[in-house]
Amino acid sequence: MDDKIFEVIDKTSRKIRLTKRQWMHITIKHTDLSNKEKEIIDALENPDIILGHRFDEMAGNYYKYDKIEKAYLVVSAKYLNGEGFVITSFYTRHIKKK
Protein backbone atom coordinates (compact mmCIF):
# COMPACT_ATOMS: atom_id res chain seq x y z
CA MET A 1 0.00 0.00 0.00
CA ASP A 2 1.07 3.60 -0.53
CA ASP A 3 3.14 5.30 2.13
CA LYS A 4 1.49 8.19 3.90
CA ILE A 5 2.71 11.78 3.65
CA PHE A 6 0.37 12.62 6.52
CA GLU A 7 -2.81 11.61 8.30
CA VAL A 8 -5.01 14.17 10.07
CA ILE A 9 -8.35 14.39 11.79
CA ASP A 10 -10.55 16.73 9.76
CA LYS A 11 -13.03 19.27 11.10
CA THR A 12 -15.76 16.60 11.12
CA SER A 13 -13.59 14.23 13.23
CA ARG A 14 -12.78 11.88 10.37
CA LYS A 15 -9.30 10.57 9.65
CA ILE A 16 -7.93 11.60 6.24
CA ARG A 17 -4.59 10.61 4.76
CA LEU A 18 -2.47 11.85 1.89
CA THR A 19 -0.39 9.18 0.18
CA LYS A 20 2.84 9.64 -1.74
CA ARG A 21 1.06 8.50 -4.89
CA GLN A 22 -1.63 11.19 -4.60
CA TRP A 23 0.96 13.80 -3.61
CA MET A 24 2.83 13.05 -6.86
CA HIS A 25 -0.45 13.40 -8.79
CA ILE A 26 -1.16 16.76 -7.13
CA THR A 27 2.31 18.24 -7.51
CA ILE A 28 2.77 17.14 -11.12
CA LYS A 29 -0.58 18.60 -12.14
CA HIS A 30 -0.44 21.63 -9.80
CA THR A 31 3.23 22.56 -9.38
CA ASP A 32 2.26 25.62 -7.29
CA LEU A 33 1.33 23.21 -4.46
CA SER A 34 4.71 21.45 -4.26
CA ASN A 35 5.58 23.04 -0.89
CA LYS A 36 2.04 23.45 0.49
CA GLU A 37 1.61 20.36 2.70
CA LYS A 38 0.95 22.51 5.80
CA GLU A 39 -1.68 24.53 3.94
CA ILE A 40 -3.42 21.33 2.82
CA ILE A 41 -3.43 20.05 6.40
CA ASP A 42 -4.84 23.38 7.60
CA ALA A 43 -7.58 23.26 4.95
CA LEU A 44 -8.64 19.83 6.21
CA GLU A 45 -8.47 20.74 9.91
CA ASN A 46 -9.82 24.31 9.70
CA PRO A 47 -11.69 24.83 6.43
CA ASP A 48 -13.73 27.94 5.73
CA ILE A 49 -16.41 25.67 4.28
CA ILE A 50 -16.89 22.00 3.35
CA LEU A 51 -19.14 21.18 0.41
CA GLY A 52 -20.20 17.95 -1.20
CA HIS A 53 -18.38 17.06 -4.40
CA ARG A 54 -20.41 17.81 -7.53
CA PHE A 55 -19.80 14.44 -9.18
CA ASP A 56 -19.10 12.02 -6.32
CA GLU A 57 -21.42 11.71 -3.31
CA MET A 58 -18.67 9.94 -1.35
CA ALA A 59 -16.33 12.94 -1.65
CA GLY A 60 -16.15 16.41 -0.17
CA ASN A 61 -14.34 19.65 -0.99
CA TYR A 62 -12.60 21.58 1.77
CA TYR A 63 -12.11 25.28 0.98
CA LYS A 64 -9.63 27.52 2.81
CA TYR A 65 -8.87 31.07 1.66
CA ASP A 66 -5.17 31.76 1.15
CA LYS A 67 -4.40 35.49 1.50
CA ILE A 68 -1.01 35.16 -0.19
CA GLU A 69 -2.39 33.38 -3.26
CA LYS A 70 -5.62 35.45 -3.16
CA ALA A 71 -7.54 32.26 -3.91
CA TYR A 72 -9.18 29.33 -2.16
CA LEU A 73 -7.16 26.20 -1.62
CA VAL A 74 -9.46 23.30 -2.40
CA VAL A 75 -8.72 19.86 -0.99
CA SER A 76 -10.93 17.06 -2.32
CA ALA A 77 -11.19 14.02 -0.09
CA LYS A 78 -13.10 10.77 -0.50
CA TYR A 79 -14.46 8.39 2.15
CA LEU A 80 -14.66 4.67 1.50
CA ASN A 81 -15.23 1.95 4.09
CA GLY A 82 -14.68 4.42 6.92
CA GLU A 83 -11.36 5.65 5.53
CA GLY A 84 -10.67 9.10 4.14
CA PHE A 85 -8.03 10.03 1.61
CA VAL A 86 -7.07 13.10 -0.38
CA ILE A 87 -7.93 12.83 -4.08
CA THR A 88 -6.52 16.15 -5.28
CA SER A 89 -5.89 19.74 -4.32
CA PHE A 90 -5.71 23.00 -6.27
CA TYR A 91 -6.37 26.74 -6.09
CA THR A 92 -9.56 28.38 -7.33
CA ARG A 93 -10.91 31.92 -7.22
CA HIS A 94 -14.50 30.82 -6.56
CA ILE A 95 -16.28 28.32 -4.35
CA LYS A 96 -18.17 25.90 -6.58
CA LYS A 97 -21.50 24.97 -5.07
CA LYS A 98 -23.48 21.97 -6.30
Cα-based distances in Å from 50 to 11, 19, 68:
9, 21, 21
The answer to the question of residue 29 being in a domain is: yes
DSSP, res 3: P
The model's pLDDT over 83-92, given as tens digits with 9 standing for 90+, comes to: 899 999 999 9
Which structural domain range is residue 53 located in?
4-92
Number of separate domains in the chain = 1
pTM of the model: 0.91
17 occurs within a structural domain: yes
pLDDT digit string, tens, across residues 23-51: 999 999 999 999 999 999 999 999 999 99
Per the CB < 8 A criterion, the answer to whether 50 and 11 are in contact is yes
- In terms of Cβ atoms closer than 10 Å to its own Cβ (0-12, 13-18, 19+), residue 94 is exposed
Q: Residue 65's pLDDT band (boundaries 50, 70, 90)?
A: very high
Question: For residue 49, what is the domain's CATH number?
Answer: 3.30.2310
